[in-house]
Amino acid sequence: MIKQIIINAIKKAIGESLGVLPMVEVEIPKDEAFGDAATTVAMALAPVLKKPPRRIAEELLPKIHAAGGPFERIEVAGPGFINFTFKQDYWYRSLGEILSNTEDVLRTDIGKGKKVQVEFVSANPTGPLHIGHGRGAAVGIALSNLLERAGYKVQKEYYINDAGRQVRLFGLSLYAKYQQRLGNEIPFPEDGYKGGYIDELCDEFIDRFGNKYLDVPSTECVDFFSEWAYQRMLREIEKDLGDFGVVFDRWQSEKAIYSMGKVDDAIAELKERGFIYEKEGALWFRSTAFGDDKDRVVRKTDGEYTYFASDIAYHREKLERGFDSIINIWGADHHGYVQRLEAVIEAFGFPRKRMKVVLVQMVSLLRHGQPVQMSKRAGEFITLREVMDEVGTDTSKFIFLTRRADSHLDFDIEVAKERSSENPVYYVQYAHARISSIFEQAEQRGINTSNLAEPQLSLLSLPDEIRIIKKLCHYPMVFELSASSLEPHRITYYLQELSGLFHPYYNRHRVISEDINLTVARLFLCKALHTVLKEGLGVLGVHAPQKM
RNA sequence: GCGCCUGUAGCUCAGUUGGAUAGAGCAGCUGCCUUCUAAGCAGCGGGUCAGGGGUUCGAAUCCCUUCAGGCGCGCCA
């Protein structure tokens, strides 16, 4: 990999003269005139060595040359950059490796088998998933794919909030709707769940049970209504997610955490550790001991645990399942929760950094540029199902992943629906489909594209071709950075850039020509492109179509 | 009032974790389909990186401050 080659060269060169080694930053210069890769070590070393960076760089130069490497040119430039230009040969070799050793080259193993858990979506099972959950799902699955490919052992988990007041209220809402539907005018609960899906749920309930519960008071059957309603909802959520291409390894019920006594256990352990105290008839967690603004109640004066209490137990349980790292993907409106949960992690004696929280910002839904008002209370919102049906899963996912998770997203349904250049996903998919089509043509002319005979890669000498090869070789760096920073959108951007090199090339030059050697070489290049496009789209959970 | 996030081209956003002359897409205008898919390509503009101060060889990026927007600040979930 490019980065490693530079680091090794610098290490060798510096190792001889100095004992110490600073962080070697390697970057791909924006301007091709500055070579293929550059490092800033000389600048970083300047304050240490008390010498001007340019001089350090110049002194380093002969040593780097002596250390050897696939370099055509090494130059000192600007304030003290050391710019490397690789030999053409190196690029051809790397291109070959992308195809001969695809997974090892494209999927840098930074995980080394470490166990990671990614918890995402985890929407209350009191209603259908909406577009915001869709974004969480897209980020979660992309992140999981990313980490899996980076050598982590990933478990995808959905936490079901089935214990709290909300599911109870959900059950009461259904009960009220049921009574009303059968002619019994009882009041609808304050803050109850409204919206069309409650009606549908009620229809189904009546089909199933008729008027069996008409004369049963709510106090006696609300548990049943709740249970039935949220189980029903959960199945729908699972179905929606499945159709969205998101399948979880594990569904953890909050209720189960309670019934197995894990909440009691967790609080007891915190008590032993001295982080639980009683005040004004409630139990408090001393989160301020770990930097939180205030201590938090875990058990109310009425004896009920708070939501936070089960979260404590849940996170303890996750940590004890032996993950090297647990990642929570939350809506940004939960950011206030991060600190107190980090306190929990530390209170149990785990390093704070073992838990990472990825905050996903809200999605503003638009139609033709006009905001679509959504009100959860009134039950008026666009569901993920509607978005999937209207704009498609690939497009939705891609759009969700074209921004950093923590930046706001405007999602215009009407624009997303258009099969036009407004949709970057087509741009990338189209590149993949076009290459498939080229292969088909080549096959028709009797060329075996799945096993290209001895391509003479040096025939790929056009600037367009060299540029594509280099870009392909950048993928591992983008991938690694994307995985280590938990930022899948970097892949999205890379794919657009890569496609942006291919389409012009396709327009200017013919892959299949009378010159069989050139044709084979170009097919080889296309194959590498095909491979990387598919790999990248795979990370995003987006299809790489053969035809469009 | 306090905390977190955001502020970059007309619009939507990237920006290699402090690097070299700040980039895409869209929107606008002009061209390109008898040859591997026009969901494509070629060309033309557009900037006080919200404002101010600081840190240093070097700042869109780090610190302080002001302004604007979003979110959060319960013995709710």
Sign of the alpha-carbon dihedral angle for A442, A444, A450, A455 = negative
- Residue A188 DSSP label: P
Q: Is the pLDDT of residue A442 over 80?
A: yes
Residue-wise pLDDT for A335-350, tens only, equals: 989 999 999 999 999 9
Say yes or no: Cβ of A74 under 7 A from any atom of strand B.
Answer: no
CB A22 within 8 A of CB A29: no
Least confident interval from A19-33, A268-282, A398-412, A421-435: A19-33
Q: Coil, strand, or helix at residue A544?
A: coil
Is the CB of A377 less than 7 A from some atom of nucleic acid strand B?
no
Closest nucleotide to the alpha carbon of A508, via C1': B41
A300 CB contact with strand B at below 7 Å: yes
d(CA A373, CA A418): 22
Give the span between the Cα atoms of A186 and A180, in whole angstroms. Answer: 6
Q: At how many degrees (to 10) do helices A218-243 and A384-391 cross?
A: 30
Q: Give me the CA A134–C1' B53 separation in Å, rounded.
A: 43
Residue A350's φ and ψ, nearest 5 degrees, are -100, 155
pLDDT at A362 > cutoff 60: yes
- How many whole angstroms separate alpha carbon A443 and alpha carbon A449? 7
**What ipTM, to 2 d.p.?**
0.95
The DSSP 8-state label assigned to residue A516 in this structure reads H
| CB of A302 lies under 7 Å from some atom of strand B | yes
List C-alpha distances in Å: A238 to A143, A199, A235, A507. 19, 20, 5, 44
Measured CA A402 to C1' B6 distance, in angstroms: 16
A 239-298 residues, CB < 7 A, strand B? 279-282, 293, 296-297
Collapse the DSSP code of A116 into the 3-class scheme (helix H, G, I; strand E, B; otherwise coil) and give the result.
strand
Query: Distance from residue A410 (CA) to nucleotide B44 (C1'), in Å?
Result: 29
**By the 8 A CB rule, do A161 and A177 touch?**
no
The one-letter code for the residue type at A126 is: T
Residue A58 to residue A76: CA distance in whole angstroms: 7
Query: What is the edge-to-edge ordering of all strands in the sheet holding A296-299?
Result: A276-279, A282-285, A296-299
Asked whether the predicted pLDDT for residue A16 surpasses 80, the reply is no
> Is the pLDDT score of A419 beyond 80?
no
The reported pLDDT for the residue numbered A453 is: 79
- What pLDDT does A487 receive? 94
pLDDT for the residue A81: 93
Instruction: Identify the helix (H) or strand (E) that includes residue A470.
Output: helix A463-484
Task: Provide the positions of strand B that have an atom within 7 A of a protein CB.
Answer: 2-7, 12-17, 19-27, 35-37, 39-42, 57-58, 70-77
Q: Determine the pLDDT at residue A18.
A: 59
Vertex A374: Cα angle to A372 and A376 (nearest 5): 170
A177-186 long-range contacts, Cβ below 8 Å, gap at least 24?
A177/A201, A177/A202, A178/A202, A178/A205, A178/A206, A178/A213, A178/A214, A178/A225, A179/A214, A181/A206, A182/A206, A182/A211, A182/A214, A184/A214
Which pTM does this prediction carry? 0.95
Judge if the beta carbon of A424 is closer than 7 A to nucleic acid strand B: yes
**pLDDT at residue A438 above 90?**
yes
The spacing between the Cα labelled CA in A131 and the C1' in B66, in angstroms, equals 36
Taking only the tens place, the pLDDT of each residue in A226-285 is 999 999 999 999 999 999 999 999 999 999 999 999 999 999 999 999 999 999 999 999
CA distance A465 to A505: 8
- Predicted pLDDT at A76: 94
- Give the pLDDT of residue A12: 85
**What's the CA A29/C1' B18 distance, rounded, in angstroms?**
15
Q: Taking residues A19-27, report their average pLDDT.
A: 74
| pLDDT per residue as tens digits for the range A30-45 | 888 899 999 999 998 8
A:486-525 Cβ neighbours of strand B under 7 Å: 487, 489-490, 493, 496, 500, 503-504, 506-512
Q: For residue A299, which nucleotide's C1' is closest to its Cα?
A: B75
Q: Which nucleotide lies nearest residue A28, CA to C1'?
A: B16
Q: What is the pLDDT of residue A21?
A: 64
Instruction: Report yes or no: A61 and A45 within 8 Å, Cβ to Cβ.
Output: no
CA A339, CA A352: separation in Å to the nearest integer?
A: 10
pLDDT per residue over A322-333, tens digit each? 999 999 999 998
Q: Is residue A436 predicted with pLDDT exceeding 70?
A: yes
Q: What is the pLDDT of residue A138?
A: 96
Closest C-alpha among A68, A79, A123 to residue A240: A123
A108, pLDDT greater than 60: yes
Query: What is the identity of the amino acid at A448?
Result: N
| Window A20-59, strand B contacts by Cβ < 7 Å | 25, 27-31, 33-35, 38, 40, 43-44, 46-47, 53
Which pLDDT value is given to residue A229? Answer: 95
* Complete edge-to-edge strand list for the sheet that includes strand A37-39: A26-27, A37-39, A81-86, A71-77
Domains recognised in chain A with CATH numbers: 2-86 (3.30.1360.70), 106-110+420-540 (1.10.730.10)
Give the model's confidence band at A377: pLDDT under 50 very low, under 70 low, under 90 confident, else very high.
low
Reported as half-sphere exposure (CB side, CA atoms, 13 A), residue A122 has a value of 21
**Average per-residue pLDDT for chain A:** 92
Determine the distance between A203 (CA) and B61 (C1') in angstroms: 56
pLDDT at residue A485 greater than cutoff 70: yes
| Residue whose tokens read 């708070």 | A306
Q: Could you give the 3-state DSSP secondary structure of residue A84?
A: strand
SS3 A100: helix
Query: What pLDDT score was predicted for residue A416?
Result: 86
pLDDT tens-digit series, residues A50-101 = 888 898 899 889 999 988 899 999 999 988 999 999 999 999 999 999 999 9
Going by the DSSP 8-state scheme, the letter that residue A441 receives in this structure is: H
Proximity of residue A221 CB to strand B below 7 A: no
Residue A109 has pLDDT above 70, yes or no: yes
Whether residue A47 is predicted with pLDDT greater than 70 in this model: the reply is: yes
- When pLDDT is cut at 50, 70 and 90, the band that residue A378 belongs to is low
Q: Are A313 and A260 in contact (CB under 8 A)?
A: no
Please spell the DSSP secondary structure of A320-369, one letter per residue.
HTT-SEEEEEEEGGGGGGHHHHHHHHHHTT--GGGEEEEEE--EEEEETT
Q: What is the pLDDT of residue A422?
A: 73
Strands A363-367 and A370-371: antiparallel
Q: Which range has the worst mean pLDDT, A21-25, A45-49, A294-298, A452-456?
A: A21-25
Q: What percent of chain A has pLDDT over 70?
A: 97
Which residues 453 to 472 of A reach strand B, CB within 7 A?
Answer: none
Residue nearest to nucleotide B12 (CA to C1'): A410
Q: Does pLDDT of A379 surpass 60?
A: no
As a rounded value in angstroms, the CA-to-C1' distance for A14 and B47 is 41
Residue A376 has pLDDT above 90, yes or no: no
For residue A139 the two structure tokens come to: 């980020």
Task: Tell me the CA distances in angstroms from A345 to A311, A319, A333, one per residue in order.
Answer: 11, 8, 21
